[in-house]
Amino acid sequence: MSASGVRRASAAIAVLAAAGLALLAIPLEHGTTDASAPVQVTAPVVAPPPPPPPAVPLAPQQIAERVIPTIVTITTRSAFGATAGTGIVLRPTDSAAVVLTNHHVIDGGLEISAKSMRDGTPYPAEVLGYDNSRDLAVLRLPGAAALPPAVLGSSQTARVGDPVTAIGNAEGGGVPQSAPGAVTKLGVTVLTRNSADGSRNELAGLIEVNADVRPGDSGGPLVNAFGEVIGVSSAGNAVERDTPSAPAPQSYAIPIDSAMGVVDQILAGRTSDSVHIGPTPQLGVSVRDHIDAQAGTPSGAQVVLVSVRSPAEGLGLLRGDVIVEFDGAAIRTAADLTLRMIARHPGDRVDVRWVDAAGAQRMGSMVLTEGPPR
């Protein structure tokens, strides 16, 4: 099959943010790069070792044949609807496959499932951990240990002008599609926007390519001419096909070397300021920075929404209340609260101090429940 033929066939705290560069999962919806945002450039069971790279670059069909069996489609159902993305199969562990994808693909997921791109076999998906600041998540697919792992290369070998191919679940149709292109920049920093909830995130050190990466390709592999994974597709400027005056394709991938550092940390169970391990704890509020009227600076996390039957509702938190302390730590911004939740787990008991609408100080204790990944 030709390259063109392949293309055709082929926690629980929401911090309100303004819109910025969007992401490439497709809410079964997708995102695009924000042209107004500045782009900065800065200089278990062990799988057998991958085979050595071929002596010569592969043809487009050979790349597809090498990569497609090692990826899965991912479908996430959330309160916002359904989102489709792609995942890269890594080494197996016990009777399951380990899969790498983007955090925004599984963000808010009440139900997450996967299908083999090789034969369409469905698998349930469990979230092992994630780093939303780097837009990465690691899943476990029980019963999928036989899925072949992707051949990983090194993003450090990438050079401007190198031919690359992005392969994934473009447009969320469940059919593997290939997007050839070339590396155009290295070490790029972009501002991304999640098209589901409008939240923004800055991603640094990315690989910029001119491949036509489409909505639904999020979390899929960017491979070199030998079919080795050098990046994880994450964001881009894709617009509807046949749009008049559409911009030239411009997409961004997270280097596989840095991505695997996060994977190793998650598999080792090491929580950090940005990496959460295991099920997501739920407080049950959406918050934003509360600005002190006199000082003009943030002075807490103001509640803008309280979920029904959540720990926050049970504690008595109301819209307009300002959380100023969480489990003994001062809270000055909404981000402070998010950071404190990263190391928490469902079942943890925490103390919360807040200021109500009348200006009175209040305090209470709650047990966090399990919620969707955030």
Per-position DSSP letters for 285-316, written without gaps between them:
EEEEEEEPTTT-SEEEEEEEEE-TTSHHHHHT
Q: Are residues 110 and 132 in the same domain?
A: yes
Q: Are residues 241 and 120 in the same domain?
A: yes
Given a cut of 50, whether residue 15 has pLDDT beyond it is: no
- Catalytic status, residue 218: yes
pLDDT at 47: 55
| pLDDT band, very low/low/confident/very high, at 16 (cuts 50, 70, 90) | very low
pLDDT at 240: 59
| pLDDT band, very low/low/confident/very high, at 23 (cuts 50, 70, 90) | low
CB count within 10 Å of CB 232 equals 31
| % of the chain beyond a pLDDT of 90 | 70
Q: Are residues 245 and 131 in the same domain?
A: yes
List pLDDT tens digits, range 270-306: 999 999 999 999 999 999 999 998 889 999 999 999 9
User: Half-sphere exposure of residue 358, counting CA atoms within 13 Å on the CB side?
Assistant: 3
Domain at 325, CATH number: 2.30.42.10
Q: Which two tokens stand for residue 177?
A: 């599609």
Q: Return the bridge partners of 364, or none.
A: 352
Q: Are residues 176 and 97 in the same domain?
A: yes
Which of 34, 107, 131, 135 is an active site residue? 135
| pLDDT band, very low/low/confident/very high, at 12 (cuts 50, 70, 90) | very low
Q: Are residues 238 and 362 in the same domain?
A: no
pLDDT at 254: 98
Given a cut of 50, whether residue 108 has pLDDT beyond it is: yes
DSSP string for residues in 201-221: EEEEEEEEE-S---TT-TTPE
**Helices (DSSP H) in the chain: which residue ranges?**
3-9, 60-67, 103-106, 256-267, 311-315, 334-342
Question: Is 138 domain-assigned?
Answer: yes
Q: What is the pLDDT averaged over residues 335-354? A: 94
Q: Cα(339)–Cα(98) distance, rounded to whole angstroms?
A: 26
CB within 8 Å of 224: residues ≥ 6 apart: 153, 157, 158, 162, 163, 164, 230
For residues 102 and 54, the answer to whether their CB atoms sit within 8 Å is no
Domain at 151, CATH number: 2.40.10.120
Nearest to 81 by CA among 38, 40, 26: 26
User: Half-sphere exposure of residue 268, counting CA atoms within 13 Å on the CB side?
Assistant: 10
Domain limit, last residue, from 212, 246, 267: 267
pTM as predicted: 0.82
Which of 30, 104, 276, 290 is an active site residue? 104
369 exposed, middle or buried (CB, 10 Å; 0-12, 13-18, 19+)? buried
pLDDT at 32: 41
Instruction: Look over the chain and give the mean of its residue pLDDT values, rounded to a whole number.
Output: 86
Q: Are residues 100 and 180 in the same domain?
A: yes
CB count within 10 Å of CB 47 equals 16
Q: Which amino acid is at 190?
A: V
pLDDT at 374: 83
Which of 116, 155, 218, 299 is an active site residue? 218
CB within 8 Å of 88: residues ≥ 6 apart: 70, 71, 99, 100, 101, 150, 219, 220, 221, 229, 232
Q: What does residue 110 show for φ and ψ, rounded to 5 degrees?
A: -85, -25
Q: Cα(281)–Cα(314) distance, rounded to whole angstroms?
A: 15
Nearest to 271 by CA among 191, 355, 340: 340
pLDDT at 350: 97
Given a cut of 80, whether residue 49 has pLDDT beyond it is: no
| pLDDT band, very low/low/confident/very high, at 247 (cuts 50, 70, 90) | confident
Question: Is 274 domain-assigned?
Answer: no
Q: Cα(256)–Cα(23) distance, rounded to whole angstroms?
A: 18
Q: Are residues 257 and 287 in the same domain?
A: no
Q: Cα(195)–Cα(65) distance, rounded to whole angstroms?
A: 32
Domain limit, last residue, from 267, 300, 328: 267
| Residue 217: domain span | 3-45+52-267
Question: Is 331 domain-assigned?
Answer: yes
Q: Are residues 225 and 318 in the same domain?
A: no
Radius of gyration of the chain from Cα atoms?
Answer: 21
List pLDDT tens digits, range 256-265: 999 999 999 9
Q: Are residues 329 and 210 in the same domain?
A: no
| pLDDT band, very low/low/confident/very high, at 5 (cuts 50, 70, 90) | very low
Given a cut of 80, whether residue 18 has pLDDT beyond it is: no
Q: Are residues 249 and 286 in the same domain?
A: no
For residues 100 and 229, the answer to whether their CB atoms sit within 8 Å is no
Q: What is the pLDDT averaged over residues 101-123? A: 95
Q: Are residues 261 and 326 in the same domain?
A: no
Question: Is 273 domain-assigned?
Answer: no
Question: Is 272 domain-assigned?
Answer: no
Question: Is 361 domain-assigned?
Answer: yes
Given a cut of 80, whether residue 10 has pLDDT beyond it is: no
Given a cut of 70, whether residue 244 has pLDDT beyond it is: no
pLDDT at 13: 40
| pLDDT band, very low/low/confident/very high, at 46 (cuts 50, 70, 90) | low
| pLDDT band, very low/low/confident/very high, at 215 (cuts 50, 70, 90) | confident
List pLDDT tens digits, range 154-206: 999 999 999 999 999 998 889 999 999 999 999 999 988 766 556 678 899 99
Domain limit, last residue, from 204, 237, 267: 267
pLDDT at 242: 58
Q: Which amino acid is at 132?
A: N
Q: Return the bridge partners of 323, or none.
A: 301, 354
Given a cut of 90, whether residue 214 has pLDDT beyond it is: no
Q: Cα(271)–Cα(131) distance, rounded to whole angstroms?
A: 10
Q: Cα(307)–Cα(128) distance, rounded to whole angstroms?
A: 25
Nearest to 30 by CA among 259, 209, 275, 219: 219
Q: Are residues 15 and 162 in the same domain?
A: yes
Question: Is 229 domain-assigned?
Answer: yes
Count of domains forming the chain: 2
